[in-house]
Amino acid sequence: MEPCEPEVLAVLARSGDPAALDEATRCYGDRLLVVGRRVCGDPVDAEDAVQAALLSAREHIGEYRGDGRLEAWLRRMVVNACHHMRRGRKNDPEWHDTEAEPPDPTQDPEVQAARGELARALAAALAELTPRDRAIVLLSDVEGWTGPELATRLDVSPASIRTRLARARRRLRASIESEIAAG
């Protein structure tokens, strides 16, 4: 078989040959993942959706009529798998932030926009820290852990925690200030 010949793949698929899906996966797999990422929004969910779509395609290969391209049929299955996954989560409490407060409609939109910019700058600055420093900052400033608790948990001296925390905060502050000044 010629590699990635759509007409040949379509004929094989219409005949119910499972080898057609193996070849289609090799030929179109990357593009199916792109569709999955775009529709699902999460790379892990996209991989799951592509896998679910290919399993469904294998099960229903005899139903492929050949009206359109095989790739389009598979893409539609990926989109459907993403939608199915999303529907299954709508009642899952883990996917809903029950503590989030809606934005105050009386608050100035410019203030809301500035807060959004600050949040993006903070996220970017946190991403620049080493994983250990990021953990120290988050556990201290967000979770409220004390220096001795962090020192015990991370098996380092309290002085080391204070030093790392001060340096990490200084790097965060500098990064956020430069991000805001640039943007």
Q: Where are the domains positioned within the chain? A: 6-92, 109-182
Residue ranges of alpha helices (H) inside 95-155 are 109-128, 131-137, 147-154
For residue 3, pLDDT beyond 70: no
Q: How confident is the model at residue 166 (pLDDT cuts 50, 70, 90)?
A: very high
Please list, in sequence order, all residues whose beta carbon lies within 8 angstroms of the beta carbon of residue 39, skipping any fewer than 6 positions away: 46, 49, 78, 79, 82, 83
Is the domain spanning 6-92 CATH 3.20.20.80? The answer is: no
**Cβ atoms of residues 147 and 162 within 8 Å:** yes
For residue 46, pLDDT beyond 80: yes
Give residue 40's pLDDT.
86
**Cβ atoms of residues 13 and 20 within 8 Å:** yes
Distance between CA 121 and CA 177 in Å, rounded?
A: 8
Give residue 8's pLDDT.
77
For residue 102, pLDDT beyond 60: yes
Q: What is the CATH number that goes with domain 109-182?
A: 1.10.10.10
Residue type, 29: G
Between 183 and 169, whose confidence is greater?
169
Q: Which of 10-24, 30-44, 68-82, 111-125 has the lowest mean pLDDT?
A: 10-24
H or E segment and range at residue 1: none
For residue 1, pLDDT beyond 50: no
Please list, in sequence order, all residues whose beta carbon lies within 8 angstroms of the beta carbon of residue 164, skipping any fewer than 6 positions away: 132, 133, 136
Q: Mean pLDDT score of the chain, rounded to an integer?
A: 81
**Cβ atoms of residues 6 and 64 within 8 Å:** no
